[in-house]
Structure 1
Amino acid sequence: MIDRRQLLHSAATCIAWLGTGPVASAKDAAYPSRPVRWIVPYTAGGATDAFSRVICQHLSERLGQTFIVENKPGAGSNIGTLTVINSQPDGYTLLLTSTANAINASFDPTLPYDFAKGIAPIAGLARNPLVLVVNNELPVKSVADFIAYAKANPGKLSIASSGVGTSLHLSGELFKAMAQVQFVHVPYRGSAPGLTDVMAGQVQGMFDNVPSSFELIRTGKLRALGVTTSERSEALPDVPPISDTLAGFETSSFYGVGAPRGTPQAVVDLLNKEINAAFDEPPIKQRFAELGAVPITGSAGRFGEMIAAETARWRKVVELSGQRKE
């Protein structure tokens, strides 16, 4: 016969073992339990890269796993975007979303995906103005000078961008339409190589994001003529808005984070919370200010609403500029 106390002890031990097993497994599987890929659909060295590396370092420190920035440039951000949409919706592949995603919805009729249906918004990161920069040898000192020069030299100016259909490209096309000037558009696979050729004089100018061109302007390697927002940028307080000369002209870029549609809500909520928390840290706030960026905070739902509003706004720019992928 089994002693009653032995039986009770054995049963209690079994229950304790069964109870701790699932808890240990759940803990082991807690997100993130392995490195997370953060896809940037542009070349390294631009604004998207700068924002991503700051936030990925913060997430790595807060969540105890490495968030790896992976650049996948090409096709106006479509290569990187499609990579994420086709990934497992488990939170281990994230997308640096940007204005290009809002633009492509109307600019590219051949788009092989529906961004609104394929990506789950997680959090906003930043909004920043663009700036019109030119080679130092170009004999212009202001937006008015640039317009006059373009009219006096039709077709002789070349303007770089980070790719066809990007906010940099369409800001230039909108400027061209509103100022009634002509220049040749030269697309690059990202902002950095375009800026390099502007400095070298291979092209004469570029509409670029303030974060990626700020240091070049500050050190005198490029000349800034005007910012694309209706108010001056804190990073470039001496550079006037283009709208001071070209009334009604206004564009800007935004950045955020998304994941494949179907990603668990708990993962979305965790990432949203931690990304928002980043902007409570003085060093991160200072870094974004240095890059000329205004942080975007709020819920995943609010970021989704912003993407919808930006998509509608850029549709109007696409229509006005007359640009569309063929």
Structure 2
Amino acid sequence: MTDRRSLLLAGLAAGILPRAASAQGEWPARPVTMVTGYAPGGVTDLATRAIAERIQRELGQPIVVDPKPGGATSVSATQVAQSRPDGHTLLMGTTSLAINPALQPGLTPRDPRQELAPVGMAYRTPFVLHLHPDVPARSTAELIAYAKANPGRLNFGSSGTGAVNHLCLEMFRREAGIDVVHIPYRGGAPALIDLRAGRIQGMFAAVLEALPVVREGATRAIAISSKDRLPLLPDVPPVAETLAGFDGVFWQGLFAPVGTPQPVLDRLGAVLRVATEDAGLRARLAEQGVALQTGDAAFLARLLATETESWGRLIRDAGIRPE
């Protein structure tokens, strides 16, 4: 009689592996922990939990979402990088993995590309470039022209120095050749309060933070930071329609500790693909300004490498330092 090991090897050779095997036996052998660097309640937490629930249905084991905020998400990333590489501890990593090596090189993991194994993409979400109504610009081109005519007189907020929306502002400032003042806040909410009040004149804001004030007319949305239009604001064009190639988004992807067995990574990638291609989940998260994106481990590895270089160059050239 053919033993279990022979069947497993035959399945691998044929490309058929219904359940991944790890050094501990069949995987997953127990609940899987998905660590995230953000506190519960925000859109990042909502999207992570929705994706985890869909993956859980495929794996047949519970997925426990474990928020570990702190250290610009380095607390969560370090925990996973140092975990046993058996597929039972995963990281929902973000753009900060590409930003931190240049912005805060003392944080761990110092090189996520070497200490975390990419599994696949999860989603992207852009920012809304919106202005206080006192600013007469109604398009990206008009804003650039107005800023050039009024150098140093426009104040733009962000959710903090080195945050993705701050880096979008720096990229916009560089590509447009304008002089605007960056005002960092401790989060997007206080920046929006000052934007509504006219104490700052604009910002790149997270979609769900910007939508209420845009819809009530307290601010004017003039552009989206991604290359593609946002279904929630279909009439608002991308910055890239004025500044070719402009693309600044917040993304998340799934990672495991380096050393995780390849069959486990393959199985994880397969169930993540099922989640990101789920039409119902896509529609549900699109209502939150989140665009699920399918991309395998190689795609995520390239994205991390490309953005580590591009954001790092921007941080160094602009002399950005953490607060």
| TM-score, normalization by structure 2 | 0.76
CA distance in 1 between partners of 2:137 and 2:130 (Å): 11
Contact 2:122–2:276 under 8 Å retained in 1: no
Q: 1:242 corresponds to which residue?
A: 239
CA distance in 1 between partners of 2:154 and 2:126 (Å): 26
Q: 2:155 corresponds to which residue?
A: 157
Q: Residue 203 of structure 2: SS of its match in structure 1?
A: strand
Q: 2:129 corresponds to which residue?
A: 132
Query: What is the aligned counterpart of 1:305 among 302, 307, 311?
Result: 302
Q: Which has the larger radius of gyration?
A: 1
CA distance in 1 between partners of 2:50 and 2:216 (Å): 23
Per-residue deviation, 1:197 = 5.8
Greater shift, 271-280 or 288-297, is seen at 288-297
CA distance in 2 between partners of 1:114 and 1:303 (Å): 15
Per-residue deviation, 1:255 = 1.6
Per-residue deviation, 1:319 = 4.0
Query: Which amino acid is the alignment partner of residue 268 of structure 2?
Result: L
Greater shift, 149-158 or 288-297, is seen at 149-158
| Cα distance change, pair 325–246 in 1 and its aligned pair in 2 (3 A) | same
Query: Which amino acid is the alignment partner of residue 315 of structure 1?
Result: G
CA distance in 1 between partners of 2:302 and 2:245 (Å): 24
Over residues 21-60 of structure 1, what are the superposed CA-to-partner deviations in whole Å (9 max), with x where a residue is unaligned?
xxxxx9x964334333222212344442232121011122
Per-residue deviation, 1:100 = 1.6
Q: 2:68 corresponds to which residue?
A: 72
Over residues 116-173 of structure 1, what are the superposed CA-to-partner deviations in whole Å (9 max), with x where a residue is unaligned?
1111111111234322134567665443554526964836624022x43232121112
Query: Which amino acid is the alignment partner of residue 51 of structure 2?
Result: I
| Counterpart mapping for 1:1-326 below 5 A | 30-112=26-108, 113-135=110-132, 141-144=138-141, 146-147=143-144, 148=146, 152=150, 154=152, 157-161=155-159, 163-177=160-174, 178-189=176-187, 191=188, 194-195=191-192, 198-199=195-196, 204-210=201-207, 213-214=210-211, 217-218=214-215, 222-246=219-243, 249-325=246-322
CA distance in 2 between partners of 1:306 and 1:71 (Å): 24
Structure 2: segments with no counterpart, 5+ residues: 1-21
| Cα distance change, pair 217–58 in 1 and its aligned pair in 2 (3 A) | farther
Contact 2:84–2:257 under 8 Å retained in 1: yes
| TM-score, normalization by structure 1 | 0.76
Q: 2:16 corresponds to which residue?
A: none
Runs of 4+ in 1 over 6 A off after TM superposition: none
Structure 1: segments with no counterpart, 5+ residues: 1-25
Q: Residue 263 of structure 2: SS of its match in structure 1?
A: helix
Query: Which amino acid is the alignment partner of residue 172 of structure 2?
Result: F
Q: 1:18 corresponds to which residue?
A: none
Over residues 238-271 of structure 1, what are the superposed CA-to-partner deviations in whole Å (9 max), with x where a residue is unaligned?
1122244455543233221112212232322222
Q: Residue 275 of structure 1: SS of its match in structure 2?
A: helix
The share of aligned pairs that are identical, in percent, is: 34
CA distance in 2 between partners of 1:164 and 1:43 (Å): 19
Query: Which amino acid is the alignment partner of residue 48 of structure 2?
Result: S
CA distance in 1 between partners of 2:26 and 2:311 (Å): 39
Over residues 162-212 of structure 1, what are the superposed CA-to-partner deviations in whole Å (9 max), with x where a residue is unaligned?
x432321211122233342222331425x5665566456675533234366
| Cα distance change, pair 75–272 in 1 and its aligned pair in 2 (3 A) | same
Over residues 55-111 of structure 1, what are the superposed CA-to-partner deviations in whole Å (9 max), with x where a residue is unaligned?
011122222333233333333222222222222323232211122211223333323
Per-residue deviation, 1:309 = 2.4
- The number of aligned residues is 298
CA distance in 2 between partners of 1:291 and 1:47 (Å): 7
- The answer to which structure has the higher helix fraction is 1
Contact 1:95–1:259 under 8 Å retained in 2: yes
Q: 2:9 corresponds to which residue?
A: none
Query: Which amino acid is the alignment partner of residue 78 of structure 1?
Result: S
Query: Which amino acid is the alignment partner of residue 267 of structure 1?
Result: V
Query: Which amino acid is the alignment partner of residue 46 of structure 2?
Result: A
Greater shift, 119-128 or 204-213, is seen at 204-213
CA distance in 2 between partners of 1:202 and 1:91 (Å): 48
Over residues 212-249 of structure 1, what are the superposed CA-to-partner deviations in whole Å (9 max), with x where a residue is unaligned?
64465456565322112344333322112224445554
